[in-house]
Structure 1
Amino acid sequence: MGCPYNNNYRPMEDAIHTDFKDDMSYGDYLNLGPILSAQNPLSDQHDEMLFIIIHQASELWLKLAGHELSKAVQNIQNGDFGHAFKVISRVKQILNQLTQSWNILSTLTPVDYLKFRDALGHSSGFQSYGYRKIEFLLGNKNESLLQVHENDPLVYQELKQIITQPSLYDVTIQALEQNGLSIDKSVLARDFSQPYQSNESVLKAWLNVYQNADEHFNLYELAEKLVDIEDSFQQWRFKHMYTVQRIIGNKVGTGGSSGVGFLKKALDISFFPELFELRTHL
């Protein structure tokens, strides 16, 4: 048998476009010039480039997740469950992608990170606008967290607006009521800027949905999509915490938090508490 790689060459095809003097190129469309020149290490350490790119790429994925979740809220408000399922499934995959990125960052050893950590100053992922937007859209409302964004008026105003609007779970609960399930008025008319508190009427409504899944299939499917989101989000949170622990141990975070201890507390926060509680009662 002949070697399959004897002709290890792929010629350029004549029809491939190569002249972009007056035409939009791939780089033009994606604005790659500014994006690929936005990595500016503050030290001479080789691994700082890894640290910067991982976080920049994560912010792009977070931006997309926020874009999709905002649409999901609109979809549910409009009764468009089909498109809501599509974009929520996409967010799940985005979160899975973000979780995998921690594996790459884990190749950064503690010794190598300490060589440039001081260059970060007080900058920290805690100040991530994209992460905060997702938390608010999913329902983890906390007005005190807005303080770290006050120096950026545009970001601050957007987050301020999002925190006062119904979250993905709030509009889902409204959909329960709109589909004939009994929800306490106090839940429907609550102050959306405040953290959501588990409610007995919501739990009973979800139990009804799960016990009569064929009758309430859209709501049942939506509930499982939300559980997918929380599952993926919690895996991302855990991997974040564990990666930080692996690299800096129990040191204080660059942003001033207690570091690993602070990240562990996030694992106890549920976006959709009744969807997990109902499993005990089925």
Structure 2
Amino acid sequence: MNTPSKPEDIVREERAQLDFSKSMSYGDYLCLEQVLGAQKPLSPAHDEMLFIIQHQTSELWMKLMLHELRAATAAVAADHLPEAFKMLARVSKIMEQLVHAWDVLATMTPPEYSALRPYLGPSSGFQSWQYRCIEFSLGNKNAAMLKPHAHAPARLAEVEAAFHAPSLYDEALRLLARRGIAVPASHLERDWSQVYVADAGVEAAWLQVYRNPQAHWELYQLGEELTDLEDAFRLWRFRHVTTVERVIGFKRGTGGTGGVSYLRKMLDVVLFPEIWTLRTSL
């Protein structure tokens, strides 16, 4: 019976694999020096590290979300639905991850936040260009939301591109039409920068799909992927509201918004309206 190797023997045997002086290491691949060096608290408050990491990690998740959303929208436009389904499912899971991230920030009490708030100046999550691209990609278009990015031309160009492009839902409706489902012409070719307006004809198109899932299985599955996506997005928004109210109450946001009052208005925004209203008609 072989005697288990001692720890020092294991290290000796693996020594060739422990020397990364001439090859790429884990830290090199992930650029950890830059990532872990990006937390630069401005206040003496202990809790500022939590505040910074919460928002930096959220931005990283949003970067992945945008990567998947853009690819999923392109896949829907190209009739590659299996690929789109996988990407949209991933986006929903990312949103679930972001929902739970609020649980960590919610451990910050009002006095702890008050200690670091003066150091934030006018900076605010309201100014996140990635979040704005996500909202625009999902169809919540608002020209006023371009202004917070006017000071950074490169970022403004990216946000404007999302603002003027067809949303995921716009491409879904064009797909329905290509598959022989009657969709009002007003919703197939329009100014994509305008606010989406729900239409009875669009609801009728989705009802045709939902009343005969077997005949329109991929479109039916697309409808449910969109439902999952908006469901997760609503939870993300709601958890944001409750966390902000718990930490700062009804104070105005650092970026000048109404804080909780503004966030509560966002809860009423419906991204894919006919996907929800059709359920009453079934």
Same fold (TM over 0.5): yes
The CA deviation at 1:14 is 2.2
The CA deviation at 1:13 is 6.9
Off by >4 Å, runs of 4+ in structure 1: 7-11
Correspondence for 1:126: 126
CA 57–180 in structure 1, closer or farther in 2 if over 3 Å, else same: same
1:252 aligns with 2:252: yes
**Structure 2 counterparts to residues 1-282 of structure 1, below 5 A:** 11-12=10-11, 14-15=13-14, 17-282=17-282
Question: AA paired with 2:134?
Answer: I
Correspondence for 1:3: none
The CA deviation at 1:228 is 0.4
Secondary structure at the aligned position of 2:39 is classed as coil
Q: Figure out how many residues of one structure are paired with residues of the other and give that number.
A: 276
Question: AA paired with 2:125?
Answer: G
State how far apart, in whole Å, the 1-side matches of 2:38 and 2:193 are: 35
Greater displacement, 7-16 / 253-262: 7-16
State how far apart, in whole Å, the 1-side matches of 2:206 and 2:174 are: 12
5+ unaligned residues in a row in structure 2: which ranges? Answer: none
The CA deviation at 1:77 is 0.7
Greater displacement, 158-167 / 99-108: 158-167
Secondary structure at the aligned position of 2:18 is classed as coil
The CA deviation at 1:152 is 1.1
State how far apart, in whole Å, the 2-side matches of 1:12 and 1:128 are: 46
Secondary structure at the aligned position of 1:246 is classed as helix
CA 8–112 in structure 1, closer or farther in 2 if over 3 Å, else same: farther
State how far apart, in whole Å, the 2-side matches of 1:274 and 1:9 are: 62
TM-score, structure 1 length as denominator?
A: 0.95
Secondary structure at the aligned position of 2:204 is classed as helix
Task: Deviation per CA, 1:75-104: give whole Å up to 9, x if none.
Answer: 001111000000000000000000000000
Percent identity between matched residues is 47
Question: AA paired with 2:124?
Answer: S
CA RMSD of aligned residues (A): 1.4
5+ unaligned residues in a row in structure 1: which ranges? Answer: 1-6
Question: AA paired with 2:195?
Answer: P
Task: Deviation per CA, 1:41-83: give whole Å up to 9, x if none.
Answer: 0001100000000000000000100000000011001111000
Question: AA paired with 1:257?
Answer: T
Secondary structure at the aligned position of 1:115 is classed as helix
State how far apart, in whole Å, the 1-side matches of 2:11 and 2:68 are: 38
Question: AA paired with 1:12?
Answer: V
The CA deviation at 1:12 is 3.4
The CA deviation at 1:199 is 1.1
Secondary structure at the aligned position of 1:136 is classed as helix
